[in-house]
Structure 1
Amino acid sequence: MDEMTQLRELRADAPVPDRADLAPGRKRLTDAIAGRSRRTLRLRADWRIASLGAVVAITAAALFVTQVVDTSDPRQSGPATVAGDLDLSSPAAALGRAADFLERQEVPPEPRADQWVYTREVDAASENAKALEEMPDEVANRLIPMFEPDQWVRYDDKAAENDESDTDYRTARESYRIAAALPDDPRALLAKLRETFPTGDGTNGETEQKDEHSFRAVGVMLESYPLPPDALARIYRALATIEGVGVTDHLIRDASGRQVIAVTRSRDANTRSEVLIDPVDYSYAGEREVVSRTHEVTAPDGIKSTTVHKRGDILIDIARTKAAVVDAKGQKP
């Protein structure tokens, strides 16, 4: 039996959802995704809350899509170039090894003001949306792909840099220079990143404790491209010092199927956040949100639905597969 047939039969007995019930959830989802081209370089503390709520609303109202998780043991087939060198026994060991490698790399020239930053991402949620497009209208209500995988942003974006309405956003040039100036001392470095990417006060985003705030701020900084390799090394050493940070003792598979290092920290009692790192060149490789405890989630106001998130379910799964500095928008390396 093919996968689409299994998907259709999974909830064949479920009542057909009314379009009016689905519309609010879809609008929340598309609104949350609308600013994604900027998300490469910023992430408000409340972004995940809004987007996850929208996804829950739609999946609960329409149908539940089970993500197929690769159950093979990556320890048996890790990248040959580094399999013998990886030390995933602790965050200090794994990130220290990454920092040592990066500190030996030559620092390339800063990009020119007229250049562009190109990134390509794979989003597992977008792949699910594409699969749902093949299903009947009355069942799936057609979730469109959430974002374009290829993105280009100006390295020197004066208009965005001078826009004071969004205090979290940093252009590629700003991020590069902030990273280059980060101190060696991990505590001072984390304090600088918390200042750069502030937490909410309860009205404009959730309030975070210091270590939670530090982990998120590091994650936002790591999404920036490019970063000087010596600066990336300092960030990794600081990341290893955050209370509650762990590392998965084996490589995991990201949304694109690659095997990557997962640096983890509990987000709350039910979920954990993961920063993904390429085990070959130690570049930023993406992010995941994974359910750590089975629990129920109630849809946002206006949608009467509850869904169950099971331990091991992946809520967010984004892989960065390419990143480069190019000379023009639309150009690919």
Structure 2
Amino acid sequence: MDEMTQLRELRADAPVPAAAALAPGRERLTDAIAGNGGRRTLALRLRLRLTPMLRDWRVASLGAVVAVTAAALVLTQVVGVQAPDPTSPATVVGDLDLTSPAAALNRAADHLERQEVPPEPRSDQWIYIREVDRQQEQQWEELPEEVRKKIPMSYSPDRWVPYDDKAAESDESDTDYRTARESYRIAAALPEDPEALLARLREVFPTGSGPDGAPEAKDEHSFRALSVLLESYPIPPDALARIYRAMATVGGVKVTGHLIRDASGREVIAVTRKYDRSESRREILLDPVDYSYAGTRDVVTKTHKVPTPKGRPTMVQKRGEVLIDIARTHAAVVDAKGEKP
């Protein structure tokens, strides 16, 4: 797990991080996010998939970073959406059909099934990812210098993860985290039948219970499991085709009828599903040219008040507010950490 993924997952609303104050801070954040996908979503967004060297740092520094970024939960305004430009690459390709999830995702699958399947990465290779996250960048810039000096990391949109990470594979504390190699092989082994494929992913990425909230309903569970796997890189194109065909069958899934602008300014496809127990939706973003995974967003679907602990100001989330907005602009297999394609 790279350092910036750790920082990205530290978007929160909590009090000054004295040891005794951390508990009510966590409670406040949990209650605030309860209107945005429930405790399960909170756990997924805040979970730190730390390398062994950084696990002890988590306990000492989590509260400090959370407190400084207390106002960052709802930072952004609506990202402008536009109809596709007739001169854009997506339109020139002529393969887009955004009339329904089945039309869009089956068209994407048809394209991917025609692609050559590259060899699996070697165990000594690395995965390079570059992501644009304006919220994370702003949060980092707003951190006081004295706080930055105490954090063993710095802001960067670039990250590298080892393809073969045996230590992470043996860590069973995070039921949603899989290494790049694990994800590749899970995807490659998925069955053709959409129902069987979704059942397999629900098994691989189990639903929450206890502190993670009530178990998700079948369709919400399926969509989350799909989104978790799609964040991995690489995924063989034929496996990605099966994933998209299965996604089109999940109840409640929609596709925005026009391309939207992601955090990097690109026009992308948005495949969406509203959270069952909140007034917001998750969006999986796809590149309209090669249909690769292009990022994710969480968007408020209805203006509403978010419950907060007694004595805390009431929070209001407005329809159209973008709570999470991450654009993946580059992904590649490289031979060494620090290398860029």
Give the TM-score taking structure 1 as reference length: 0.77
Paired position in structure 2 for 1:155 = 163
The 3 A distance-change label for structure 1 pair 146 and 48 is farther
The 3 A distance-change label for structure 1 pair 331 and 313 is same
Paired position in structure 1 for 2:285 = 276
Deviation at 1:80, TM superposition (A): 2.8
Paired position in structure 2 for 1:223 = 231
Aligned residues between the structures = 289
Deviation at 1:205, TM superposition (A): 4.3
Q: How does 1:122-271 map to 2 (within 5 A)?
A: 122-129=132-139, 132=142, 148-267=156-275, 268-271=277-280
- Cα deviation 1:207-245 (Å, max 9, x = unaligned): 210100000000001011000000000000000000000
- Cα deviation 1:145-203 (Å, max 9, x = unaligned): 99532111111111111223333221111111111110000000000000001111133
Q: How does 1:303-322 map to 2 (within 5 A)?
A: 304-322=312-330
Residue pair 1:265, 1:274 contacting (<8 A) in 2 also: yes
Paired position in structure 1 for 2:305 = 296
1:285 to 294, 298, 306: 294
Residue pair 1:117, 1:155 contacting (<8 A) in 2 also: yes
Helix, strand or coil at the partner of 1:74 = coil
Runs of 5+ unmatched residues, structure 2: 1-13, 30-39, 48-62
- Cα deviation 1:259-310 (Å, max 9, x = unaligned): 10000000134101100000011000010000000011234x5871222111
Instruction: Using the TM superposition, name which of 56-65 and 237-246 deviates more.
Output: 56-65
The 3 A distance-change label for structure 1 pair 310 and 259 is same
Identity of aligned residues (%): 64
CA–CA separation in structure 2 for the residues paired with 1:62 and 1:223:
23
Residue pair 1:112, 1:155 contacting (<8 A) in 2 also: yes
CA–CA separation in structure 2 for the residues paired with 1:99 and 1:63:
35
Give the aligned CA root-mean-square deviation in angstroms.
3.2
The 3 A distance-change label for structure 1 pair 78 and 184 is farther
CA–CA separation in structure 2 for the residues paired with 1:63 and 1:249:
28
Paired position in structure 2 for 1:89 = 99
Deviation at 1:129, TM superposition (A): 2.2
1:47 to 43, 62, 65: 43
- Cα deviation 1:103-144 (Å, max 9, x = unaligned): 0000000000100011011113123325646xxx7xxx99x9
1:119 to 120, 125, 129: 129
Give the TM-score taking structure 2 as reference length: 0.75
The 3 A distance-change label for structure 1 pair 21 and 109 is closer
Structure 1 position 70 matched with structure 2 position 52: no
Paired position in structure 2 for 1:3 = none
Helix, strand or coil at the partner of 1:264 = strand
CA–CA separation in structure 2 for the residues paired with 1:164 and 1:233:
29
Structure 1 position 330 matched with structure 2 position 338: yes
